[in-house]
Structure 1
């Protein structure tokens, strides 16, 4: 059974944000002070990582609470400058309770090359992720970022951001983290397969079988 964020103690969610921030930093997905994470506290409030801080060094007391309009309600630090993308996801997807934005190196290289990860190569990626579209370029820290993502948010759970990075989201922070990890894995496989000189994409029949299996997988995971 998936343990959703809403209804869980705030102290527990703060610890999770610290834990996943450190993991993402160790993976090289959040170098320097880049990247941000958030979870729903309830239907009206979000718990978000602060701006200008290493996710490896972040503490649970550093988190910021905002409402769904982006107003800061609590926290001594300033909220992430990328808050608008988190708000867009939560406003458009009532089923989403956690968002991760990071810069996984290979996936970000695809975003810088103008390449979506939309070729169906790996069975596991089809089962757990689906295609990963590429949002158009938007200046970081502006509302342009949210606007560039909105066309894709309803139908995907991970999106590449041109010349920027990636965002992934799900019903739990664990799920959003695993999706981000899978995005980077898929990008790595795509890159190596291209270097080997041949891409063997899944056939329509194979995709149909996998999509049916995916529905069963989703039901069993909830």
Structure 2
């Protein structure tokens, strides 16, 4: 993906997050790897529903601004850079505050349980990263243990973080996370939380090559 294409894609994902109510005001941030040590990211203080391609800054792995728009990068860029530092296969990171996911994050409970085939295959567990003060190195430190083994985590008292091999996959992981959080919440209300049998989980993992 060229830098120009990455800029357009980040703006589009920002609009999708805002339209689905996954961010409020100027919450959330998005980044994309555009070089071996360069990352395009959303600027601070701007609604994700109103991003402009020319305003997106580019930073290196230490957070130093390399160029781009005249706006400063999000103060949460350290969290994104921490993910990239752990796994070179990650090319995009999305941070948002989806309603149901954030409810679970504030409650202090991760999401798990094979309730649907799609859950088993795509997102069998969403761990909870322990609380860390935003915009400090404690945030990436809390997330790093999950990067290689998962594609999403809840941020205690904060929101949600997803990552992927490209921006579309990172964004879709956020959608799936929020859907799982909402289904889990509603099932808890009616006392109807049920898991697929272990043999069916094993069968699904064998068919789709997951669960390893």
- For each residue in 1:63-99, what CA deviation from the matched residue of structure 2 results, as whole angstroms up to 9, or x when unmatched? 0101112111113110101011101111101111010
Counterpart for residue 39 of structure 1: 32
SS at match of 1:56: helix
Counterpart for residue 203 of structure 2: 209
Displacement of 1:202:
2.1
C-alpha distance in structure 1 between counterparts of 2:58 and 2:13, whole Å: 18
Counterpart for residue 186 of structure 2: 192
2:126 pairs, out of 127, 132, 137, with: 132
1:49 pairs, out of 42, 55, 80, with: 42
Counterpart for residue 162 of structure 1: 156
**Could you tell me whether the CA contact under 8 Å between 2:97 and 2:159 is conserved in 1?**
yes
Displacement of 1:128:
1.6
SS at match of 1:89: helix
Aligned residues: 209
Unaligned segments of structure 2, at least 5 residues: none
User: What does 1:1-222 correspond to in 2, within 5 Å?
Assistant: 8-75=1-68, 76-215=70-209
**Could you tell me whether the CA contact under 8 Å between 2:113 and 2:124 is conserved in 1?**
no
Displacement of 1:33:
0.3
Normalising by structure 2, what TM-score?
Answer: 0.95
Root-mean-square deviation (CA, aligned residues, Å) is 1.1
Normalising by structure 1, what TM-score?
Answer: 0.91
C-alpha distance in structure 2 between counterparts of 1:36 and 1:88, whole Å: 14
C-alpha distance in structure 2 between counterparts of 1:119 and 1:171, whole Å: 25
- For each residue in 1:16-64, what CA deviation from the matched residue of structure 2 results, as whole angstroms up to 9, or x when unmatched? 0000000101111111000000001011111111011101111001101
- For each residue in 1:155-175, what CA deviation from the matched residue of structure 2 results, as whole angstroms up to 9, or x when unmatched? 110000001000001011111
**Could you tell me whether the CA contact under 8 Å between 2:105 and 2:156 is conserved in 1?**
yes
Unaligned segments of structure 1, at least 5 residues: 1-7, 217-222
Moved over 2 A (4+): 212-216
Displacement of 1:205:
1.6
- For each residue in 1:80-129, what CA deviation from the matched residue of structure 2 results, as whole angstroms up to 9, or x when unmatched? 01011101111101111010000000010001011110222121122122
C-alpha distance in structure 2 between counterparts of 1:70 and 1:202, whole Å: 44
SS at match of 1:160: strand
